[in-house]
Chains A and B, each alone.
Chain A
Amino acid sequence: MFGLIETGFGNLTLGNLGMLLIGALLIWGGIAKKKEPLLLVPIGFGAIMVNLPLSGLMMHTPEGLPALGGLSEVASGEIGLLNLIYYYGLYTKVIPLLIFLGVGTMMDFQPTIARPISLVFGAAAQIGVFIIFLAAYYSGFFTLEEAACAAMIGGSDGPPTVFVTVALAPHLLGPITMIAYAYMALVPLIQPPVIRSLTTQKERAMEMNQEVREVSKGELILFPILVFLVSTLLVPGSAPLIGMLMFGNLLRVSGVTERLAIAGSTMNDILLVLLGLCVGALMPAQVFFDPRTLLMILLAIFAFVIGTAGGVITAKILNLFIKDKINPIIGAAGVSAVPMAARVAHSEGLRANPNNYLIMHALGPNMAGAISTSVVAGVFLGMIGY
């Protein structure tokens, strides 16, 4: 009737309508609530673009994976514009790696270098990832590859999660990336109850020595090189991620490549927009409304809870052996989520004692978390992938 069958209206499904609503909600969250706007706005718009029937912006293979091709395929109408971005940006894993380079140019590792024990908290917070990896696999809903990708969300670091998912379970890239970035907004809600339940008021109020050792330029320059050497020699699978992160950081601290470092952070914004658009386009209704997606959200939250608890408990254990005591709250910042987790640790310290300024101490474990998630990604790729 009136040719409606040939238009998008005639092909709209309930699933499409649901996804259009979710896309609109994501855009609203990004603009009105200012939650990760650089990601949520493009993801939301991408979800709208791909869920308009007959738009032809993203074509899928019969197996449900995005069709691959270059410019000539776009011209002949075999694939859409978003397929092209997916192919060159995500399928080749270029976008997450370049984003990590940009992240490296923005990271200040001084607190980590000044207090190397921070690195242990970064490792402890990854316990949640491995526990959830097992839980996901034992649940029977996920294959080993899918379980690893779902668990990576708990590391709360976007690029490593995207990198591992592209390699191991590309069909889950859309929901996993969306969850990984969207649930960063939940960090201030998830962490405080965990911290409070594992620590006493006295422990949270503990003031730490504010005289943090000054870090020399030489240490700043050698740090990225040494981290790359050690982690790549022990976990070769982590080389692309750690390499890019540390290279970006070397550009920042070398003192002679400021222009490149600034370019790196600008490039990061552009790539985040492309990533967001692509991720949104990987959320057709049939993928998003899969019960496994909802299960992944729950698993990610549990991974984050366990990671936070792991960091806090490790700090308490270390306090039994070290002279210069650590406020256990800063262990919670070992989960990546830079700098949100450090801010949460700081505000929990202030809440317990108005003179307790923990931000500089919490940034150390927080930066270590970024290194740890890359190592975890390398471990998964080494054991399951390639």
Chain B
Amino acid sequence: MNETSSIDYVGSLVMALTGTFVVFLVLILVAVIISQLSNVLWLWEKPERMLPGNWARRKKDGDGDKPSGDVGGERSESSPGFQFPTCGHTYPENNREIVDAWMPMFEKMGDSFRLMDLYKEARESGLPHPHLTICRLRRENYLIQVENQLYTFRREPEE
């Protein structure tokens, strides 16, 4: 006789409800821990940041003072102990800088192209933050939609 054959319909209902609860519990717990990870790493780099004033400033400034391991941040002075490696790319502040860096790519892509192809090409060329950059170029009207899913590049943003 199979052990589980004695489980009745109510038992299986309890199993399903417990299972759903456990899955949510695990995933929510992981989400809570992960959401605090960047803060923990920020404090790990310089424990003195735990002082109330510094903590309040981080909350106010958002990511103004990023941890050294942050992909998009500047490397802060090193603290003793373990340091996470950094990717070392910084996100340019100036649109002109981005356009200059991306110009060879636009020349290669031709008059019109799909954003997906541009993204792939940028990744393969090792340009930093291709997704963010494309979003920014679209928002600033450097990338203009010419037809369904096809875009073109304007050296000067369209008004």
Q: Give chain A's interface residues, CB within 8 Å of chain B.
A: 112-113, 116-120, 122-124, 126-127, 130-131, 133-134, 137-138, 143-145, 147, 210-219, 221-223, 226-227, 230-231, 234-235, 255, 350, 354-355, 357, 360, 368, 371-372, 375-376, 379-380, 383-384
- Give the complex CA separation of A380 and B19 in angstroms: 8
Q: A118, A130, A235, A371 — which one has the most chain B CB atoms within 10 A of its CB?
A: A130
Residues in chain B near residue A217, CB distance under 8 A: 69, 71, 84-87
Task: Let me know if B51 is at the binding interface, CB within 8 A.
Answer: no
Q: Of A145, A213, A234, which one neighbours B25 at CB under 8 angstroms? A: A234
Interface size class, chain B: 35 or more
A372 touches B27 (CB 8 A): yes
B67 touches A134 (CB 8 A): no
- Give the complex CA separation of A147 and B7 in angstroms: 13
B34 touches A214 (CB 8 A): no
Q: Which 3 A-B pairs have the closest CB atoms?
A: A218-B84, A214-B72, A218-B69
- Give the complex CA separation of A134 and B91 in angstroms: 51
Q: Of B9, B18, B23, B67, which one neighbours A126 at CB under 8 angstroms? A: B23
Chain A interface mostly helix, strand, loop or mixed?
Answer: helix
A223 touches B20 (CB 8 A): no
Closest CB in chain A relative to B151 CB, distance in Å:
11
A sample of 6 inter-chain contacts (CB < 8 A) reads A124-B24, A133-B12, A133-B15, A147-B12, A354-B145, A379-B18
Task: Let me know if B37 is at the binding interface, CB within 8 A.
Answer: yes
B16 touches A216 (CB 8 A): no
Task: Let me know if B63 is at the binding interface, CB within 8 A.
Answer: yes
B131 touches A119 (CB 8 A): no
B28 touches A120 (CB 8 A): yes
Q: Of B22, B27, B33, B139, which one neighbours A226 at CB under 8 angstroms? A: B33
- Give the complex CA separation of A122 and B30 in angstroms: 12
A130 touches B19 (CB 8 A): yes
- With contact pairs A354-B148, A379-B19, A379-B22 given, residues A216 and B31 touching in the complex (Cβ less than 8 Å): no
- With contact pairs A214-B70, A372-B23 given, residues A130 and B131 touching in the complex (Cβ less than 8 Å): no
B9 touches A234 (CB 8 A): no
Closest CB in chain B relative to A133 CB, distance in Å:
6
- With contact pairs A144-B4, A375-B26 given, residues A116 and B31 touching in the complex (Cβ less than 8 Å): yes
Chain B interface mostly helix, strand, loop or mixed?
Answer: helix
B30 touches A119 (CB 8 A): yes
- Give the complex CA separation of A217 and B44 in angstroms: 14
Task: Let me know if B50 is at the binding interface, CB within 8 A.
Answer: no
Task: Let me know if B135 is at the binding interface, CB within 8 A.
Answer: yes
Q: A217, A221, A379 — which one has the most chain B CB atoms within 10 A of its CB?
A: A217
B33 touches A144 (CB 8 A): no
- With contact pairs A218-B67, A255-B85, A354-B145 given, residues A230 and B22 touching in the complex (Cβ less than 8 Å): no
Task: Let me know if B13 is at the binding interface, CB within 8 A.
Answer: yes
A123 touches B27 (CB 8 A): yes
Closest CB in chain A relative to B140 CB, distance in Å:
12
Q: B9, B16, B38 — which one has the most chain A CB atoms within 10 A of its CB?
A: B16
- Give the complex CA separation of A277 and B21 in angstroms: 37
Closest to B35 in A: A116
Residues in chain A near residue B145, CB distance under 8 A: 354-355
- Give the complex CA separation of A222 and B5 in angstroms: 42
Task: Let me know if B2 is at the binding interface, CB within 8 A.
Answer: yes
- With contact pairs A217-B71, A230-B26 given, residues A133 and B148 touching in the complex (Cβ less than 8 Å): no
Residues in chain B near residue A113, CB distance under 8 A: 34, 37
Q: Which residues of chain B from 30 to 71 have a CB within 8 Å of any chain A CB?
A: 30-35, 37-38, 41, 44, 63, 66-67, 69-71
B85 touches A360 (CB 8 A): no
B38 touches A235 (CB 8 A): no
Residues in chain B near residue A219, CB distance under 8 A: 34, 37-38, 41, 69
Closest to A145 in B: B4
Q: Of A123, A137, A213, which one neighbours B24 at CB under 8 angstroms? A: A123
Closest CB in chain B relative to A122 CB, distance in Å:
6
Closest to A238 in B: B26
- Give the complex CA separation of A194 and B143 in angstroms: 33
Closest CB in chain A relative to B122 CB, distance in Å:
14
Closest CB in chain B relative to A258 CB, distance in Å:
13
Closest CB in chain A relative to B14 CB, distance in Å:
10
A123 touches B129 (CB 8 A): no
Residues in chain A near residue B12, CB distance under 8 A: 133-134, 137-138, 144, 147
A123 touches B23 (CB 8 A): yes
Q: Which residues of chain B from 145 to 159 have a CB within 8 Å of any chain A CB?
A: 145, 148-149
A134 touches B30 (CB 8 A): no
Q: B23, B44, B66, B70 — which one has the most chain A CB atoms within 10 A of its CB?
A: B23
Q: Of A218, A230, A372, A383, which one neighbours B33 at CB under 8 angstroms? A: A230
Residues in chain A near residue B149, CB distance under 8 A: 350, 354
